[in-house]
Amino acid sequence: MEKRRPLKVLMLTSSYPRSKEDPAGIFVRYLAENLTQRGLEVHVLAPAYRGVGTNLEGDVHVHRFQYFPALLQKLAYGSGILHNLRRHPLLWIEVPFFLAMMTFSLLRLLQKENPDLIHAHWVLPQGLIAVFAKLFYKIPVITTAHGSDVFTLKGKIFDWLKALVLRSSDAWTSNSRATADAIAEQASLPEPRILPMGVDVNRFQGGQRTRLRPSLPEDELLLLFVGRLVKEKGLDDLLEALALLQPDLRGHTSLWVVGDGQERSRLERYAQALGINGKVRFWGFISNDLLPNFYAAADLFVFPSMETESQGAEGQGVVLLEAFAARLCVVATRAGGIREVVEDGYTGILVEPRNPQQLAIAVEKLLDNEQLRAEMAENAFARVKKYYGWEKIATAFESLYHNLLKNKNGGHLKSHNTGA
């Protein structure tokens, strides 16, 4: 019997890696790639960056839309749309063009590709555009809340729009219970599926410690931070915590900061003001392919994220999963979805946000106890393998897709989905 074509999913996102090395929206790429490995056909619609076009990236069909003259497109990518708007208010000029071109491109792609469903990543604006398209194409929509769209866009109009999107979606998922609860506080909504983003466990456990350690003294202890250099990541507190360590411990402890962002220059000046600039190295942007070696080189991963009025809290904290997969012990804060990833005292230590003193005490405790670090790291590795591997996450999303389509079609999948 002739094989029927696979289930076809169209993902809608405002952030998707622009190259193999680019970390922007990389969890969307990993999900897309793992779904194709399960036999699905995945198309992704994302903003272009200095150009426009459609490419087959691996087995994923990536369609990019241009919304402004190529050299002037600066709304997406970098530190993210919201950060870019706050830093450069003139970029608001690009917003209506962005929304219009994403909508136009989606409608055109729906007509051309005839997918089985739309999976919108982030409630606003992608979820809103997806449910708008549903009015014309009667196509099922799944919307995923990742956190930044929930914690940052607040106010009566935004709350109403988020509620409209999630009520109009055929299903919605959240990367953590904290993210879901933050939306539930704003409106009465259908119950979501809690489906976190995952991590490539094999890749991150394969880092080589000897690649980067030669740049440090033999007995040096190394703290690692990975993330965008923006206020809500709490790097100020980590720098202050390093300065608060006992002098003899601080004397053989270094901090590597991996990532870039609008706060970098200020943070470098702050490290100098604290008198620790000789112990801190700002690496800037690092290719995603090289990250496993940074985790392997470190003795402790520190993630001092905090909630801010403008940016809200961390939705999940994927970098924590990367550290877990690298068998690296972590210190993090009780902020947003982090509490669901790190089990205090078992897979790491949690401290209160915006408390450098607590952070320093936790760092000292773990740096002084190699056996405790190793035990927590092994617990974390077992946890990430069991719950956060991409194969498990992709299987859960595939099951959600099939169940949704089955219910939409009166108990029967469309003949062209999957099967022989």
- For residue 1, what pLDDT is reported? 43
CA dist., res. 207 & res. 201, Å (int): 11
DSSP-assigned states of every residue in 83-110: HHHHH-GGGGGGHHHHHHHHHHHHHHHH
Strands 221-226 and 253-258, bridge-based pairing: parallel
- The continuous run of DSSP H or E covering 8 comes out as strand 8-12
Residues 155, 161, 167, 173: what is their CA dihedral angle, to the nearest 10 degrees?
-80
* 414 belongs to a structural domain: no
* 399 belongs to a structural domain: yes
**Residue 182 and residue 270 in contact, taking contact as beta carbons nearer than 8 Å:** no
- In terms of domains, do 45 and 184 share one? yes
- In terms of domains, do 171 and 206 share one? no
What SS3 state is found at 222? Answer: strand
CA dist., res. 213 & res. 22, Å (int): 24
What is the tally of structural domains in the chain?
2
- In terms of domains, do 183 and 205 share one? no
* 230 belongs to a structural domain: yes
- For residue 311, what pLDDT is reported? 59
CA dist., res. 375 & res. 383, Å (int): 12
- In terms of domains, do 187 and 252 share one? no
- In terms of domains, do 205 and 191 share one? no
* 235 belongs to a structural domain: yes
- In terms of domains, do 251 and 372 share one? yes
- In terms of domains, do 192 and 47 share one? yes
- In terms of domains, do 228 and 281 share one? yes
- In terms of domains, do 250 and 315 share one? yes
CA dist., res. 287 & res. 176, Å (int): 27
CATH number for 351: 3.40.50.2000
CA dist., res. 254 & res. 279, Å (int): 5
**Domain hosting residue 217, numbered range:** 201-387
Q: Look up residue 238 and give its two tokens.
A: 């980590």
The residue among 18, 13, 21 whose CA lies nearest residue 43 is 13
* 419 belongs to a structural domain: no
Q: Position of tokens 């991409």?
A: 390
What SS3 state is found at 251? Answer: coil
- In terms of domains, do 210 and 271 share one? yes
- In terms of domains, do 354 and 337 share one? yes
Average pLDDT, consecutive stretches of 10 residues, N- to C-terminus, the chain (420 residues) = 77 92 89 96 93 82 94 85 86 95 97 97 95 94 87 80 94 93 77 94 94 93 94 94 96 96 93 96 92 97 83 82 97 93 96 96 97 97 96 96 85 38
Strands 348-351 and 330-333, bridge-based pairing: parallel
Q: Going along 177-292, which residue ranges are E strands?
A: 193-194, 221-226, 253-258, 280-284
* 83 belongs to a structural domain: yes
Neighbours of 213 (CB within 10 A): 16
* 32 belongs to a structural domain: yes
CA dist., res. 324 & res. 199, Å (int): 9
- In terms of domains, do 294 and 339 share one? yes
**Residue 94 and residue 243 in contact, taking contact as beta carbons nearer than 8 Å:** no
Output the CA–CA distances (angstroms, integers) from residue 264 to 76, 283, 295, in the order listed.
19, 10, 21
* 291 belongs to a structural domain: yes
- For residue 310, what pLDDT is reported? 54
- Polymer length in residues for the chain: 420
Output the CA–CA distances (angstroms, integers) from residue 411 to 115, 171, 407, 414, in the order listed.
19, 17, 5, 10
